[in-house]
Amino acid sequence: MRTRRELTREATIREIKETALARMRVCGAADFRLSDVARDMRMSAPGLYRYFDGRDGLLTALITDAFTDLAVRAERARDAVTDGDAGGRFLAVARTYREWALSSREEFALIFGPPVSGYQAPQEGPSHEAAKRAMEGLRSLVTEAEQAGTRRPPRLSELPAVLVEAFSHEDLHGADPATELSLVHTWAALHGFVSLEAFGNLTWHGPEVNDAMFLGLVRLLADAIGLPEPKDGWPSGTPSGAAAAAGTASAGSSPAPGR
């Protein structure tokens, strides 16, 4: 049983975090100041030090929460799709990432937006571990498809020596360089599209067009990684064509020339 003091402390910590996020909606994460949070809570800035190690401690806690929330949602979406359907699980994770970013814009901006002036995340710590957990989901889908025998070679398989060297280290989990490069490209493309949308740079087409554009991007990226088509097929509204059809051919088909 937690004591009344412990429950009160937990409630205050939650309120501080909620107030900090509300403040970020006003001034943005880049200009975040602890004194503003204290004023909004009618506390003194030194009083907040009883709960967090200054501004950086509060930022680290918020970043950890954001990465953890993203990871939990992505894992739930992935696990809701049948085992062995790596393409369907990839689609679910990609959609969840976009939905999270658009519904949690302050948290998204905090972890993926401009850096907060003077803030340096701990090299090893809760935010670092939470970030690793959030990003490992993509690699696990590749492993799943490889184990099931449904993965094709990545689209870019012949790499220059500089990339082979960069993506051949043990700390990159020992995956082949072409696979690692495809994962970097996938992350960059997904993040780029979602960032444009979350920060208001894709407003001229409207939600329906954005949905179709995003699904088309996910389909192209699945092909680039070598993941199979989702077992239920691509959702209606997903762009298709000769190139996409070739990319979603069965795993037993012959690779296209040049692979």
User: pLDDT tens, 197-231?
Assistant: 999 999 888 899 999 999 999 999 999 999 999 99
Q: What share of the chain is helix, strand, coil (3-state, %, to 5)?
A: 65, 0, 35
User: Looking at residue 117, what is its pLDDT?
Assistant: 78
Q: What is the mean pLDDT of residues 73-87?
A: 93
Instruction: State the average pLDDT over residues 224-250.
Output: 75
DSSP label of 172: G
Q: What is the reported pTM?
A: 0.82
The winner for highest mean pLDDT among 62-66, 89-93, 173-177, 183-187 is 89-93
Distance (Å, whole) CA 88 – CA 78: 8
In whole angstroms, how large is the CA radius of gyration of the chain? 21
CATH code assigned to 65-114+122-247: 1.10.357.10
pLDDT above 70 for 241: no
With a pLDDT cut of 70, the percent of the chain lying above it is: 86
Mean pLDDT of the chain: 84
